[in-house]
Amino acid sequence: MGKKLGSSETNSIIPIKRGGPLDRFRYLTSSDERILEYDVDRVVANVRSPFQHIQILHTTNFGNLLVLDGFQNLAESDLVYTETLIRRGRIDYTGKNVLILGAGDGALLWELLKEKPKMVTMVEIDEMVMKLCSQHLRTACGTALDSYTGPNHQIIVGDCLLELDKLKASGAQFDYVFSDLTDIPLSTSVRQEKEWQFLRSVMEKSLELLNKDGRFLTHGSGVSSIQSLKNFEAHLANLEPAVRFERWQAFVPSFMEDWVFYQVWRTSEE
């Protein structure tokens, strides 16, 4: 082949699988849109809710994997994602009031409840995600989604922006707010302007609910999405009131890449 093409070098690349009954489920993308192949051997769920396309795919290496609108969200193998987000061992949640936005897989709620908080309030818009995860992702969410109310937790099914407004009107205050919603957009193009505005609104409304010394924690994107992370940090720099942040990262198995996480706080609290 090299001689026919007049090339001095050739390289054999494994072809993308096509034609098999599971092949269309095997391929997802990294944070910077590189193709990733997964060892999917069974489709556990493949449905559409009023909000998004929900898939739970069983993989040999990662167990059941939650995929929303074509993006991998969490697998049974991904405890490191949740532990890194909450900074387990570095933050003491004992007796604290915590708010979770999103995280419909239930893993964040499940792990936070182990930290003996005073109360965890979770807001998730898609009840179908929670029901499917409570059935098929129990390694990650345990019994957290079995009941929407408990001694120290409550789950609100609703739009997070509307619920943030309600919480502000009620005078609610939190020690920690977690945003585990949509990923950071890849660019600042007009097409993704609404996504950036949504993230900005979430951050601004969340900061208003934090008490003195409160912290806002969220996930970012993969480390290889350099420009996307720079864009996010530029948005942080323009928030009012002014904030500071720190970032850290960890390798998430089912993402097949290092993922970046953030902690944000108001500079007026320093």
Residue 187 has a pLDDT of 58
Whether 65 and 182 map to the same domain: the answer is no
Over residues 246-259, the pLDDT tens digits come to 999 999 999 999 99
Residue 48 lies in a domain: yes
pLDDT over 80 at 25, yes or no:
yes
Whether 108 and 193 map to the same domain: the answer is yes
Residue 43 lies in a domain: yes
Read off the CATH number of the domain in which 68 is found.
Answer: 2.30.140.10
Over residues 115-151, the pLDDT tens digits come to 999 999 999 999 999 999 999 999 999 999 999 999 9
Residue 98 has a pLDDT of 99
Residue 194 has a pLDDT of 85
Catalytic residue among 159, 180, 183, 213: 180
DSSP letter string, 195-221: HHHHHHHHHHHHHHHEEEEEEEEEEEE
The residue out of 47, 74, 101 marking a domain boundary is 74
Whether 152 and 43 map to the same domain: the answer is no
pLDDT over 90 at 9, yes or no:
no
Residue 4 lies in a domain: no
Over residues 173-230, the pLDDT tens digits come to 999 999 999 777 765 665 668 888 899 999 999 999 999 999 999 999 999 999 999 9
Domain that holds residue 233: 79-269
Which residue type, as a one-letter code, is found at position 252?
V
pLDDT over 80 at 17, yes or no:
no
Over residues 79-129, the pLDDT tens digits come to 999 999 999 999 999 999 999 999 999 999 999 999 999 999 999 999 999
Residue 211 lies in a domain: yes
Residue 154 has a pLDDT of 98
Whether 85 and 204 map to the same domain: the answer is yes
ω before 253 within 30° of 0 (cis)? Answer: no
Which residue type, as a one-letter code, is found at position 77?
S
Whether 36 and 160 map to the same domain: the answer is no
Going by pLDDT thresholds of 50, 70 and 90, the confidence category of residue 19 is: low
- Supply the pTM of this predicted model: 0.91
Whether 128 and 34 map to the same domain: the answer is no
Question: What is the residue whose two structure tokens read 């600042």?
Answer: 188
The residue out of 46, 74, 102 marking a domain boundary is 74
What percent of the chain stands above pLDDT 70? 90
Known catalytic membership, residue 180: yes
What's the total number of domains in the chain? 2
Residue 5 has a pLDDT of 60
The residue out of 55, 74, 93 marking a domain boundary is 74
Residue 51 has a pLDDT of 96
Residue 5 lies in a domain: no
Residue 1 lies in a domain: no
